[in-house]
Homo-oligomer: A and B are copies of this chain.
Amino acid sequence: MKKVVPLSDIITFLGKELKAIYGNPEGINIHYLKDPQNVDEYTLDWVNPHRHDMQLIAGTSKAKAIIVGPGVEYTHTLKKQGKVILLVDNPKLAIAKVGNAFFVDKPHPGIHPTAIIHPDAVIGKDAFIGANATIGNCKIGDNVCICPNVVVNDNVMIGNDVIIKSGANLGFDGFGFERGEDGDLIKFPQLGSLIIRNKVEIGSSTCIDKGALSDTIIGEGTKINNLCHIAHNVIIGKNVVITAHVNISGSSIIEDNVWIAPNASLRGHQTIGKGAVIGMGAVVTKNIPAGETWIGNPARKLEKKQ
């Protein structure tokens, strides 16, 4: 759906986040955000503050309006080009907020007629539940987006503002077996719940098991990408980033703000301390202290260069 957003509306939206406005925003309309290769006069462009050539990027952008961070000057050139420069502390964050507010289409609330909802399930306001989703006897908060083909088993609690992408499997039995006398594998009872706090995002085909005798808990604001496995009894803190194909074994504790790169594997019963970073493909067999970065197979601490 084509959008035409007056730049002045965006300026109003950014409010106090704007440290300065250079040039005249009047009469400028923004149609979209674009990647650097496709920026044109209808794009709201931005300059990544990690680039060394920020001034050059701003100067050569085809956009009329550019969000920049500290370090870009409103030169005579920019002025002559008639560009509008919006100065903020974090241009990427500002562009994210503007994009979400003006250019992202959100699904209209509603439950697709093919979704199967348990008659005793409690679902909050403004839920979107997609085609062929299956929701067990659960309690689900407000403003939740559950994409098609998601399966939520009984006894899962889901907070507000949660997004669950297609094909995710939530709240099924954990994987625990004890060998019987004859070598058979006897399932250990999986009787706990799965609790998903507010503002969590869960990726496609990701599987999060319910607890065995306690609960599996995903903390507020945590984001989990596609194809992750989170085993029974795992407790994850706030604002943790779990990228694709991450494997978190049972009874792990992941503290707030941890960042786990793709395809990392975590042995069970370990604790990953606050703000720790785990590298791509890392095979973590130990507790990791807060703030440390671990990489490799087996994972070892990455010593910071002096």
**CB-nearest residue of chain B relative to A186?**
B96
Name the segment of A5-13, A28-36, A66-74, A76-84 touching the other chain. A28-36
A6-32: which have CB < 8 Å to B? 32
The verdict on A75 contacting chain B, using a C-beta distance below 8 Å, is: no
A200-234: which have CB < 8 Å to B? 201, 203-205, 207, 209, 211-214, 221, 223, 225-227, 229, 231, 233
The answer to whether A134 and B116 touch across the interface, beta carbons within 8 angstroms, is: no
Q: Which residues of B contact A301 (CB under 8 A)?
A: none
Name the segment of A52-60, A121-129, A239-247 touching the other chain. A239-247
The verdict on A288 contacting chain B, using a C-beta distance below 8 Å, is: no
Q: Interface of A with B (CB < 8 Å)?
A: 32-35, 37-38, 90, 92-93, 95-97, 99-100, 103-104, 112, 114, 116, 130-132, 134, 147-149, 151, 153, 165-167, 169, 172-173, 175, 177-181, 183-192, 199, 201, 203-205, 207, 209, 211-214, 221, 223, 225-227, 229, 231, 233, 238-239, 241, 243-245, 247, 249, 257, 262-263, 265, 267, 280-281, 283, 285, 295-298
Main secondary structure of the interface of A (DSSP, over half): loop
The answer to whether A103 and B189 touch across the interface, beta carbons within 8 angstroms, is: yes
Q: Which residues of B contact A201 (CB under 8 A)?
A: 187
Q: Tell me the complex Cα distance, A203–B177, Å.
A: 13
Given A103-B189, A149-B149, A191-B104: A214 in contact with B38 (beta carbons within 8 A): yes
Within 8 Å by CB of A166, from B37, B96, B169, B227, lies B169
The answer to whether B169 and A226 touch across the interface, beta carbons within 8 angstroms, is: yes
**CB-nearest residue of chain B relative to A102?**
B189
Q: Tell me the complex Cα distance, A212–B130, Å.
A: 22
Copies of this protein in the assembly total 3
Given A96-B186, A165-B169, A189-B96: A229 in contact with B225 (beta carbons within 8 A): yes
The answer to whether A229 and B245 touch across the interface, beta carbons within 8 angstroms, is: yes
Whole-angstrom distance between the Cβ of A130 and the nearest chain B Cβ: 7
